[in-house]
Amino acid sequence: MWLWRGLSLAWALAKRAWSIPLEWRFLLFSVVVLVAGAYVIGSWTTDEIEGRVLQRAAATNALYVDSFVHPYLQDLDGASSVSPQNVAALDELLDVTALGETVVSFKVWTPDGTIIYATDERLIGRSFPVEDDLMRAAGGNVSASVTDLGEEENQYERERWDRLVETYAPVLSDKTGELLAVSEFYQLPDDLLGEIRSSQNRGWLIVSAATFVMFVVLNGMVRQASSTIRRQSEGMLRLNEQVRAASASNVQREEQVMTRLAQDLHDVPAQNLAAALLRMDRLGETVPADQSENWEMIRQSVGIALADLRGISGGIRMPDLDHLGSAEVIAQAVDEFEKRTGHAVSFSIAAESALLADAAKVAVYRIVQEALNNAATHGNASSMEVTASVRPGTLVVEITDDGSGFVPSQVGASQRSGDRARLGIRGMRERAELLGGSFRIRSRPGEGATVVANIPLSGRDDS
């Protein structure tokens, strides 16, 4: 239960930390990493300091103690116990010489773990398991450690002290240089531990100072980098806004050009074709009988050209979209398509009408118009559906048909051929992306197509 609560709290803190700005997030994680690293390095350093100080002190003290006890242990060469005379001499050393001021307890071991001399006479002749320190000393090395006197052999020391510095040193023969025994002596730890703590405190101070300097340097670098990134981001945002504003202005100019072109097509070529068709009707009675079939073909061609010209003119003319929301703009495009082509289109919107900037209104209208035209003309669709929904900051428009479909990945290869449908797809994509939105098509041959356009919402009507 507590573990689960702890994990939940850690997850909540991690999510909250991840939501803060990048600059502060990096500084937070850098503090955690630096503190953890400082703790690991500091702990390792203090352990090393303790070990080195103990070993140095052990080597020094071992030489000092050996200078006193060494002569009285030479009789062990070939013997298994200390002579009574040398036992008395060792006892006197600890009582009346300067050695007793440094050493509070003393033992002599054989390499197999038997005590042959001890301050506590009860231990003489007893055997104990061979510990690592004794084994190292038997191998010719001096070793030392701070002991809490928890071993069975330390009953005498445990009754008098809480902890002592324990040192093992080899005793070598003057004649052969071979190991005779291992001396073990105990010292009060206060002076040595004080030196260790002082060295450790200096080590922690150095590690802490280095960590603080690294944090200050990292903090400066992060702040400088963050400031640079922020300026670049602001510059990119301004550039994007300028590009979008320029794109919107270009779209408006293009629509104005297309409106004038539609008006010119309607006023000049269409009117001329209409007048020509009217005059042809009047002259039809004067056409010789053997030319009537050709005359009728010409008349029908002029009529078809007039109808196509009026259709083109109506298709490129942009209706008045002022004061319309997203739903009304889409409904206008669907209604215009139905009137012009006679195809029925299913239309639904899953949210209230959203506000669109003028350029976005034009883009939505043209995307719906072009997608429906492609479905009817190139996809031979019999059923078409337009849906719209509003997500946070985005208008999502989907146009689905049951036409012949195609492979979207092959669209780019067909653009250079001048394929009208492919050029229309590229135009729809460009309209969406110029506004900062996105555009995609899902289609397979024989399975129809779905056009999805995501258009950013302005939150206000710019019209």
- What pLDDT digit, counting tens, does each position of 50-108 carry? 667 777 766 777 776 777 777 878 777 656 778 888 888 888 877 777 667 778 888 88
Question: Does residue 37 lie in a domain region?
Answer: yes
Per the model's pLDDT, the better-predicted residue between 183 and 421 turns out to be: 183
Q: In what order do the strands lie in the sheet with 449-456?
A: 345-349, 384-391, 394-401, 449-456, 438-443
CATH number, domain of 422, equals 3.30.565.10
Domain match, 304 and 406 both: no
Beta strands in 89-199 (DSSP E): 103-109, 115-118, 143-147, 164-172, 179-187
Domain match, 421 and 312 both: no
Reduced to 3 DSSP states, what percent helix, strand and coil does the chain have, rounded to the nearest 5? 65, 15, 20
Question: Does residue 225 lie in a domain region?
Answer: no
> By the 8 A CB rule, do 442 and 450 touch?
yes
Query: What pLDDT does 387 receive?
Result: 92
Per the model's pLDDT, the better-predicted residue between 262 and 175 turns out to be: 175
Question: Does residue 249 lie in a domain region?
Answer: no
Domain match, 29 and 132 both: yes
Q: How many domains does the chain have?
A: 3
Task: Indicate the average pLDDT of the chain.
Answer: 78
User: What's the pTM value of the predicted model, to 2 decimals?
Assistant: 0.47
Could you identify the residue written with the tokens 């036409």?
A: 403
- Residue 316, pLDDT above cutoff 70: no
- Residue 418, pLDDT above cutoff 60: no
CATH number, domain of 158, equals 3.30.450.20
Domain boundary among the residues 196, 219, 249 is at 196
Cα distance between residue 267 and residue 262, in whole Å: 9
Domain match, 186 and 118 both: yes
DSSP string of 349-415, one letter each residue: ESSPPPP--HHHHHHHHHHHHHHHHHHHHTS--S-EEEEEEEETTEEEEEEEE-S----GGGHHHHG
Distances (CA, A) of 70 to 53, 145, 236, 387: 24, 22, 83, 102
Domain match, 186 and 37 both: yes
Q: How many CB atoms lie within 10 A of CB 333?
A: 26
Q: Give helix then strand counts, H and E, for the chain.
A: 13, 10
Query: What pLDDT does 48 receive?
Result: 74
Question: Does residue 340 lie in a domain region?
Answer: yes
Q: 333, 344, 404, 353: which is closest to 375 by C-alpha?
A: 404
**What's the half-sphere exposure (Cβ side, CA atoms, 13 Å) at 193?**
11
Q: Where are the alpha helices (DSSP H) in 268-357?
A: 269-283, 292-316, 326-341
Domain match, 307 and 180 both: no
Cα distance between residue 100 and residue 462, in whole Å: 98
Domain boundary among the residues 196, 225, 254 is at 196
Domain residue limits at 365: 323-463
Domain match, 274 and 327 both: no
Query: What pLDDT does 262 receive?
Result: 58
pLDDT band at 366 (very low <50, low <70, confident <90, very high): confident
> By the 8 A CB rule, do 72 and 89 touch?
yes
Distances (CA, A) of 252 to 108, 300, 336: 104, 37, 20
pLDDT digit string (tens) for 286-306? 777 777 777 778 777 877 777
Per the model's pLDDT, the better-predicted residue between 415 and 144 turns out to be: 144
pLDDT band at 2 (very low <50, low <70, confident <90, very high): low
Query: What pLDDT does 286 receive?
Result: 73
Helix, strand or coil, per DSSP, at residue 347: strand
Question: Does residue 39 lie in a domain region?
Answer: yes
Domain match, 371 and 313 both: no
- Residue 352, pLDDT above cutoff 50: yes
Domain match, 191 and 274 both: no
Question: Does residue 257 lie in a domain region?
Answer: no
Cα distance between residue 201 and residue 131, in whole Å: 31
Helix, strand or coil, per DSSP, at residue 115: strand
Q: How many CB atoms lie within 10 A of CB 229?
A: 12
> By the 8 A CB rule, do 452 and 397 touch?
yes
Strand 345-349, strand 384-391: pairing: parallel
Question: Does residue 16 lie in a domain region?
Answer: no
Cα distance between residue 361 and residue 184, in whole Å: 94
Question: Does residue 387 lie in a domain region?
Answer: yes
Domain boundary among the residues 169, 196, 223 is at 196
- Residue 13, pLDDT above cutoff 60: no
Domain match, 349 and 294 both: no
Domain match, 289 and 349 both: no
Could you identify the residue written with the tokens 């008098």?
A: 160
Q: Which pair of structure tokens corresponds to residue 351?
A: 């949210």
Domain match, 191 and 155 both: yes
> By the 8 A CB rule, do 368 and 330 touch?
yes
